[in-house]
Homo-oligomer: A and B are copies of this chain.
């Protein structure tokens, strides 16, 4: 088994990526491969004695954080990300990890590796930790804009993912919304609720953001803009709160072994969603793991270990099989067509019979 890490993507590339790979080695059953500027990578690696077990593949180009994904594929065929995805498609590696431009990760994954048949687009999922165990949030940034069928397909992907990874047969699916009443939210969200209600998914209706903390649902579905805002606010607020507490403990000269400090450390551990290190890009044919752009070495190491577990358990393959067996995507397509038809009937049909 082999994992390719895009060494050139992320705010602290390539140093943090190399560091992450080196940190992962002792615990990682898979071979590790860095894709990027070979000279630069060899130079960083030369400082470390563990480096001999890391393979390096040269890629002369890098996709920047501000580039549009679809353009980047065409213009930069030899970008580190494109090379890594090509290796994945050709079976030379078993998973790809990148902390780069998420729009480019989505575009290269679609282009080189391909999607599960019947799916319109992939979705990024993240496990948000809470006191009651947590919730799988999807999409957290693969696409900023979504239609109703995109939202429903994200729900189906998350459903299959939890079935495969957590052996939950009927995970509860909630739609992240600003009120529990069906009239709340945008028209797209309202239509997504109407669509999911018709399917065999265990759809529990709207879930408000505070509801994420009360074990109301296993999955919370939203568009990538909202999901990414939730993720980053989660990160910012918990960090802000904990830093405040720590500053007060310092001011009180509370010892590092003091009772409250240990409690604060526990909370930091629970809420540190970066300890997972990466979000699976669900719906791609083979494992692609997206790491946070701000990731430092330890987060990259965690993402790499996560990728090796996902690859070992063949999660992405089983997810595709599960979707195929349940024919949930076909079901969604059918119900979506019926909904569109009905909305036309409501708009035009009734008037005709009235007159």
Contact = CB atoms under 8 A, between A and B. Distances in A.
B237 A176 contact: no
A26 interface: no
Interface string A218-262: 000000111011101111111111111100110010100001100
Contacts of A208: 232
A271 B244 CA distance: 11
A209 B236 contact: yes
B66 A229 contact: no
Given A144-B185, A245-B267, A237 B236 contact: no
A201 interface: no
Given A131-B240, A237-B238, A241-B238, A248 B263 contact: yes
A189 B238 CA distance: 26
A67 interface: yes
A103 B181 CA distance: 12
B67 A243 contact: no
A178 B213 CA distance: 23
Interface of A is mostly: helix
Contact of A183 (B68, B185, B209, B260): B68
A233 B212 contact: yes
Most buried by B among A66, A185, A237: A237
A25 interface: no
Contact of A236 (B187, B212, B259, B266): B212
Contacts of A144: 178, 184-186, 189
A293 to B, nearest CB: 8
A237 B234 contact: yes
Interface residues of A, number: 59
A263 B245 contact: yes
A130 interface: yes
Interface string A113-147: 00000000000000000110000000001001100
Nearest to A263: B248
Contact of A233 (B103, B131, B210, B243): B210
Given A65-B181, A210-B236, A260-B260, A244 B267 contact: yes
Contacts of A184: 144
A182 B229 contact: no
Given A225-B226, A229-B230, 14 more contacts: A131-B244, A141-B178, A145-B187, A178-B224, A212-B233, A213-B237, A226-B226, A226-B229, A229-B229, A233-B237, A244-B270, A245-B263, A249-B263, A252-B259
Interface of A: 65-68, 103, 130-131, 141, 144-145, 176, 178-179, 181-187, 189, 208-213, 224-226, 228-230, 232-245, 248-249, 252, 254, 259-260, 263-264, 266-267, 270-271
